[in-house]
Structure 1
């Protein structure tokens, strides 16, 4: 390790020393600033490492309990909320959304099913009308606009990544069924009972534990223009209405809002625990959260396609299951094509592999330019599977 690489703290089972090595290499070779990684096997933590800095000025060390906004890695826990309700017979994934949210039937959406929301196939990847950041923080306004809008494509036929709208859509169904917003439901049913250090939004009293996000490096203006020119209207709506950045995710307004697609805050340990519910076939920490049948349902593929929002960026077909992405032939979540997980903008990720009994959480504060498959995450996953 070079003298510029910060020391790594925590514990790592001798069997998984390759993960520690990859984590150290992320700092030395891949531009890591501050980060943490946690791995469970059979529900037992075998890797729990952290290191680096919680701020770009390198004045605050990344500690064992440092929190960070994990962007879309939040979507996994939100899907978990919906699947808990379905597992209890309170939510039918094959029922029309309008059965639970009557206003949603507007603009030809009476046939949109709950499974279409979970699998990004509802055709509502973004709003058609301009939606400001202040409006984005308003739950009632955002969900009412989504209920009133017409789909961009025929629901159920293709996936188009619902980058920001996913949390409002799935979250409003959770609220209509349970009476609780996803943040409160997740705390009552999962994170509270299991002692998992993860919240949707961030209580003001915890702000001192939060790492500062560093935005991805800006591409040259000409390159940005070329990328933007390739975007379809639905991709522009999904990714830029409103346009979100690192600074927004550190504001008091963001932290106080309910944004279940993107403003989860937690440790790598917490991410590994939440995705560990899936890896443990519904059981984690000695508590059953989902039935084994429900865990299988979560990874029920809904069909491969070139995603209507991310297709140009990925350049290959992907498959979204009922709330998470399948690892597939490219191995985004390891060599098991039926492993599944979710990445967050800039690099974070949660992974579940029920066959191997493995879960992983990775969080960081220096954001990379990719929406998924950051090289730092890929190095950690490769190291993990090399040790199994």
Structure 2
């Protein structure tokens, strides 16, 4: 019943120009799809193999969300608490009422850093800039995607509450107990396994910039030099610095919707809290529909997470997809090293074939 997924994966190479990729899925806690192929490093010709690790960009947000939710589950914070309760400096410039839920659902009105990004890989510096910054005055900024700042805000929250970085917290509380090939900040001895990200000419954005559309330092011409640097791989940016195998990410989402080997980290009630809708509407820069829970992207009419009405997870820039369909007991992850902008059939065709396979099981 899952063979059609492998066929769709192969067609992405023959019909859609895939360079290197992996796709994995769990069903009822069992790995049922585990595919990889193509080229991990076009510069050297290194093949993508079973152990290739990949940068997920915003797929990382699902991991950081889980860390925050575990602190909620343990009674160490509440989603409706002001962020400044745990990070007093953040209350400057009229930000004292911004809640943790606001940050998780991209409503903090801090989608960029006024001070710039010269210290992009220095968490302490970037968190301090955001603490001192006033929220954007334009009301539309209340629902602008926070691609990178989201991570500094929530990483600082975890540090203030728990003492560990998000990367260390995730490793200790999720990756190690669940046996996940997933990291927020890649250990140096694993850099050799990382795929090289590819940004074709013309794919990244080079202005013009508007009051609501400021340059993302990781999505402008030449950014691939940052993505593929050892410094970036090690930095552990909580919004965009996660690395994984597709098998590892599918296993992570499988752990959110059921037991793995008889255990789970987040309870069903906690996951349902994370999936509770906090905001929906059109993202003003993209003009596309968005729905957010407490950090997770929720299903929208465009079916970016497949056709399951209860789908949740998080996409990554350039085309990757990571998430789950709870009713069907399916979890999945798609990773690729050639980033694309705009309509992209690669993840959609895989999720369509996965959906057909799940229907064949009666779910």
1:300 aligns with 2:276: yes
Which one of the candidate residues 74, 87, 93 is aligned to 1:107?
93
Aligned residue for 1:173, secondary structure, equals helix
1:148 aligns with 2:132: yes
Give per-residue Cα distances to partners, 1:271-314, cap 9 Å, x unaligned: 1011222232xx33422211111111111112221213x43xxx
Deviation at 1:174, TM superposition (A): 1.0
Deviation at 1:130, TM superposition (A): 2.2
Q: Does structure 2 conserve the Cα–Cα contact (< 8 Å) formed by 1:78 and 1:260? A: yes
Q: Does structure 2 conserve the Cα–Cα contact (< 8 Å) formed by 1:126 and 1:241? A: no
Partner of 1:322: 294
Aligned residue for 1:305, secondary structure, equals strand
Which one of the candidate residues 39, 42, 49 is aligned to 1:63?
49
1:268 aligns with 2:246: yes
Partner of 1:5: none
Give per-residue Cα distances to partners, 1:333-378, cap 9 Å, x unaligned: 12223211111111112011111111101111111124xx632111
Q: Does structure 1 conserve the Cα–Cα contact (< 8 Å) formed by 2:217 and 2:223? A: no
Give per-residue Cα distances to partners, 1:99-158, cap 9 Å, x unaligned: 1111100010000000011111111111122222xx011111000111111111589984
Q: Does structure 2 conserve the Cα–Cα contact (< 8 Å) formed by 1:35 and 1:365? A: yes
Aligned residue for 2:160, secondary structure, equals helix
Q: Which runs of 5+ in 1 are unaligned?
A: 1-14
1:168 aligns with 2:152: yes
Q: Does structure 2 conserve the Cα–Cα contact (< 8 Å) formed by 1:122 and 1:155? A: no
1:289 aligns with 2:265: yes
1:182 aligns with 2:182: no
Which one of the candidate residues 253, 274, 279 is aligned to 2:257?
279
Q: Does structure 2 conserve the Cα–Cα contact (< 8 Å) formed by 1:37 and 1:269? A: yes
Which one of the candidate residues 214, 233, 237 is aligned to 1:236?
214
Give per-residue Cα distances to partners, 1:171-220, cap 9 Å, x unaligned: 11111111100000000000011111111111111111111111133159
Partner of 1:49: 35
Partner of 1:89: 75
Number of residue pairs the alignment of both structures matches:
357
Q: Does structure 2 conserve the Cα–Cα contact (< 8 Å) formed by 1:67 and 1:209? A: yes
Distance 1:186 1:46, change over 3 A: same
Bigger mean CA offset, 101-110 vs 204-213 = 204-213
Q: Does structure 2 conserve the Cα–Cα contact (< 8 Å) formed by 1:304 and 1:319? A: yes
CA distance, structure 2, for counterparts of residue 56 and residue 69 of structure 1: 16
CA distance, structure 1, for counterparts of residue 276 and residue 136 of structure 2: 24
Deviation at 1:169, TM superposition (A): 0.8
CA distance, structure 2, for counterparts of residue 351 and residue 219 of structure 1: 25
Q: Does structure 2 conserve the Cα–Cα contact (< 8 Å) formed by 1:338 and 1:353? A: yes
Which one of the candidate residues 344, 347, 351 is aligned to 1:377?
347
CA distance, structure 1, for counterparts of residue 265 and residue 192 of structure 2: 31
CA distance, structure 2, for counterparts of residue 155 and residue 171 of structure 1: 26
1:387 aligns with 2:352: no
Bigger mean CA offset, 63-72 vs 122-131 = 122-131
Deviation at 1:242, TM superposition (A): 8.2
Q: Which runs of 5+ in 2 are unaligned?
A: 359-363
**TM-score normalized with structure 2 length:** 0.93
**TM-score normalized with structure 1 length:** 0.87
